[in-house]
Amino acid sequence: MMPAFTSAYPNVGVTINMSGTQLQARFMLSLVAGVGAPDVSQLQLQEVPRYSCTGRLADLTLVAAKYRDAFPENVWKDCMYEGRIYAIPWDIGPCAVFYKRDLFEQYGVDVTAIQTWDDYIAAGERILEASGGKTKMLFYPTGFQEILFEMLLRQSGGQVFDENGRIAVNSPESLAVLNVLRRFVKTGISANTQYWSQPFFASFNTESVATYPMAVWFGGFIRDYAPAKSGAWGVFPLPALTPGGLRTSSYGGSALVIPAQCAQKDAAWAFIEFALCRRDSQLGHYRSFDLFPAMTTVYDDPFFDERVEYFGGQQVRRLFTADVERIPAMNRTKDWVETVSYLRQSLGHWSSDDMENPEDFLRALETRLARRLDREVSPRSLSLKAKAHGESVN
């Protein structure tokens, strides 16, 4: 893409600096200090709210207005603060289940029959039994439960915060999600092994785990670590929480921002516009770097209908485009990253308590988040409703 940009804008010099660790810390330090941030920076979608509320990012509302319809509303949600646009979506992470075709065939499990998470768990139990306990259904590490929690909560339309930033995690949606998660553990179909660890990557080539409910970008890892397994993998849509429910979710994705301190905002915007707001660029990122386009208007490209040999000739790209616009938006706050760390800790604790009483867990989580984040509890919270109900009865 770079040669294309420099030929289109010969006056703009571009240096690309993606190197180094601790990118977020360095970016925030530069924002606070008011010096040193690159003219264009890539941020994780979920982290954008933390920066957009600081007033240190350039307001892109006016220039980005004409691209409003090219990207789904649920993605814009992460890029906006108080009605203003501060980031332009790059890629998104629609979710599905990557599975090992050969194992499913071997144990006679029909993928198309898996419609809901209940079906998924039942299939997992069958595989576990048929393999003599050798093959688990999925990785569910007790130290990182927040990933699947967030994925399923978003799928169900539940929230951690309401629109006003109050704690809304104690909800029927959360309860439904927790009931799925606890059955991952109670039925014994999950492996308690850390993501991105050696056994995790090794499992791509072995029979230890059959499926991986993950975002689209995960497919690249599988191909890299199990090149010999071409054709043995497949993808099926995320099981729904209720019959007929939404069969996708979103996890991850990124956006580009311009810091307010940038001296050449026009050039920086020209770059972003060229890189993200053009059909060719978005498709190019997908073709070359496996970054799934946030721009939904490109989904009519024939590239999405190509059959992918690695995944057994399935039209996986098309599969991931399904219902992308219908994925519920998340209300994320500036302390979202901190919030996620509390989710992780609390869920970890719940595991050591054998994942009993999800209602109690949610109440405790709500109290904890309210105290730690110094936020109010949403009036929609189950605990407040219960109280109101109790009072009316008395």
Partner 1 sequence: MDTFEHPAHWDLLKRGALYVLLVALALLFMFPFYWLFISAFKSKEAIFTLPPQFIPDPWRLSNFLEVFRETTIVRAFANTTVIAAGHCTLTLFLCSLGGYAFAAYPHAPGRDKLFAFVLATMMIPGVVTLIPVFVVLCKLHVVNTYTAMIVPGAANAFGIFWMRQAVQQNVYHDLLDAARIDGCGEFGIYWRIVLPLLRPALAALGILVLINNWNNLMWAFIVLRTEDMYTLPLTIYLLQGELRTPYGQIMAASLIATAPLIVAFLVFQRHFIAGISSGAVKG
Partner 2 sequence: MAAHRHFYLFISPYFILFAVLGLYPLIFSFVLSFARWDGLTELRWVGFSNFVNLFGDEVLLDAIWNTVVLGLMYVPPMLAGAFFLAILLNASWLRCRAWVRAAVFLPVITPMVVVAVVFGLLYDFEHGILNYGLQRLGLPAIPWLLSEHWSKPSLALVLIWRWTGYNMVLMLAGLQSISKEFYEAAVLDGAGPFQRMRHVTLPLMRPVFVFCTIMSLIGTVYLFDEIFVLTAGGPGTSSMNIGLYLFNLSFSDFRFGYASTLAYVTAFIVFLASLFVLRFQSREGD
- With CB under 8 A as the contact rule, the residue among 3, 10, 20, 302 that binds partner 1 is 20
Taken in order 59, 62, 67, 71, the sign of the CA dihedral is positive
* Binding track, positions 63-102, relative to partner 1; x by CB under 8 A: ----------------------------------------
The DSSP result for 330-383, as a single string, is P---TTHHHHHHHHHHHHHHHHHTTT--HHHHHHHHHHHHHHHHT-PBPTT-HH
Residue 247: other Cβ atoms inside 10 A: 21
Cβ closer to partner 1: 44 or 383?
A: 44
Q: Which of 2, 8, 14, 35 binds partner 1 (CB under 8 A)?
A: 35
Task: Count Cβ neighbours within 10 Å for each residue of 97-106 and write b for 16 or more, e otherwise.
Answer: bbbbbbbbee
Q: Does 29 engage in binding with partner 1 (CB under 8 A)? A: yes
Count of residues in the chain: 394
Which residue number, 17 or 112, has a Cβ lying nearer to partner 1? 17
Q: In angstroms, how far is CA 15 from the centroid of its own chain? A: 29
What does the alpha-carbon distance between residue 210 and residue 1 come to, in Å, rounded to a whole number? 37
Query: Which does residue 372 touch among partner 1, partner 2, none (CB within 5 to 8 A, set by kind)?
Result: partner 2
Binding to partner 1 in span 181-210, by CB under 8 A: none
Which partner from the list partner 2, partner 1, none does 199 bind, CB cut-off 5 to 8 Å by kind? none
- Smallest gap from residue 63 Cβ to partner 2 (A): 24
Q: According to the binding rule CB under 8 A, does residue 32 interact with partner 1? A: yes
Closest CB 335 distance from partner 2, rounded Å: 9
Q: Which of 19, 198, 392, 394 binds partner 1 (CB under 8 A)?
A: 19
Give contact residues for partner 2 (rule: CB under 8 A).
21-22, 24-25, 28-29, 31-32, 53-56, 143, 194, 197-198, 334, 337-338, 341, 345, 348-349, 368, 371-372, 374
Positions in 298-317 near partner 1 (CB under 8 A): none
**61 half-sphere exposure, CB direction, 13 A CA radius:** 9
Site for partner 1 in 37-66 (CB under 8 A): 37
* Least distance CB 17 / partner 1 (angstroms): 8
Tell me which residues touch partner 1 (CB under 8 A). 17-23, 26, 29-30, 32-37
